[in-house]
Amino acid sequence: MVEMVIDENNIGYIPSLGTSFQLNETAKEIILMLKQGKSKDEIVEELAKKYNKDWREVFIDVTDFMEKLKIYGVIQ
């Protein structure tokens, strides 16, 4: 479960830890998709299609981003 809540200024906040993050548009999109329960493969596919990018390139970026989310305690 992704606990992060995102406000109108794209600040992501984790209520149980009191930590805040400034998100860019893509980060926000990925977190919202994770909150919807989408898998990494689904997120990669959706982003690759939307931004017209090679899925391999998107896969590397999404994997890297999700590793960071784990380090920050945003996802388990």
Partner 1 sequence: MIIGISGLNNTDNPAPGVGVAKGLLEKHTLIGLSYDPNEPGIYQGLFSKVYLMPYPSVGAEEFKQRLRYIKEQTGLEAVIPTLDAELYLYIKYQKELEKDLGIKTFLPSLSQFERREKAKLAQLAEELGIKSPKTYQLFSVEELIKLLRDGDELKFPVMVKGNYYRAYKASNLEEAIEYFYKISNEWGFPILLQEVVSGEEINYLGLGNRGKLVGGIGIKKLTTTDIGKIWNGITIENPTLLKLAREFVEKTQWNGAFELECISNGREIYLIEINPRFPAWVHFATAVGVNLPQMVVDLMEGKEVEPQLDYPSQKMYVRYVDEVVTDFKLFRQILTKKEL
What beta strand segments (E) does 1-76 contain?
5-6, 11-14, 19-22
Residues 6+ apart with CB under 8 A from 75: 2, 34, 66, 69
Interface with partner 1 (CB under 8 A), residue from 21, 55, 65, 72:
72
Contact between 10 and partner 1 by CB under 8 A: the answer reads: no
Q: Which listed residue (11, 17, 36, 60) binds partner 1 by CB under 8 A? A: 17
Q: Would you count residue 16 as binding partner 1 (CB under 8 A)?
A: yes
- The verdict on 19 binding partner 1 (CB under 8 A) reads yes
User: Rounded CA gap, 12 and 41, in Å?
Assistant: 23
Rounded CA separation 37/64 (Å):
19
Nearer of residues 41 and 67 to partner 1, judged by Cβ: 67
Q: Shortest gap between Cβ of 7 and partner 1 (angstroms)?
A: 10
Question: Which residues would be at the binding site for partner 1 (CB under 8 A)?
Answer: 13-19, 72-76
